[in-house]
Structure 1
Amino acid sequence: MSPISRKPIDLPPSVAQRFMVDMWAYFAETDPLKRDEIAARQLHVLNDYRSQREPRLRLSDIKEMFAQVRDHLGEDRPKTSPRKRR
């Protein structure tokens, strides 16, 4: 896969944390339809944070981001469970 050549999105910490939770859920899911639903959720969230001048992200972009982050971390699953909101 070639790296995505877009300017990094400046995300609030809670949105970035949710991205990571969804990324691990995406790779843990075996049903392709549910995987697409997880990626689509992030697609909508990240498109809300893009600048007006940037092209809209596509579902394939989100799937590629998930793969690149996982590969960068060099892990198959998180070492700790993410904290739940109260």
Structure 2
Amino acid sequence: MVIRKPLDLPPAVAHAFIKDMKAYFAEEDRHKRDEIALRQLHALREHQGPREQALGLSDVKAMFLHMRNHTNFPGSRRGH
């Protein structure tokens, strides 16, 4: 497993990530979920440095899952 340093994201990009993460888990269609993750992949790549290893779609999905398990929105394991 490769350990990456956190991306320094502008607040609007971070908010869009959370919004898409919620949409990702609310969506039942696998292809639409992939489209949501792909949108975030492109957004996150814009904020990566030139020497950082490129993110992949599986990385974004893993981030969504990790964040889902550590937030309090409906559908998360910690949700109230």
**TM-score normalised by L of structure 1:** 0.82
Query: How many Å separate the matches in 1 of 2:3 and 2:40?
Result: 18
Find out whether 1:18 has 2:16 as its counterpart.
Answer: yes
Q: Measure how far apart 1:36 and its partner are.
A: 0.1
* Cα deviation code 1:14-51 (max 9, x no counterpart): 00000000000000000000000000000000001001
Q: Measure how far apart 1:55 and its partner are.
A: 1.0
Written as runs of structure 1 = structure 2, the 5 A alignment for 1:1-86 is: 5-75=3-73, 76=75
Gaps of 5+ in 1: 80-86
**TM-score normalised by L of structure 2:** 0.88
Gaps of 5+ in 2: none
Query: How many Å separate the matches in 1 of 2:22 and 2:3?
Result: 23
Hey, which bits of structure 1, 4+ residues long, moved more than 2 A? none
Query: How many Å separate the matches in 2 of 1:74 and 1:55?
Result: 30
Overall identity of the aligned pairs, in %: 53
Flag the structure with more relative contact order, 1 or 2, with Cα contacts below 8 A and sequence separation at least 6: 1
Q: Measure how far apart 1:52 and its partner are.
A: 0.5
Letter in 2 for 1:44: H
Q: Measure how far apart 1:74 and its partner are.
A: 4.9
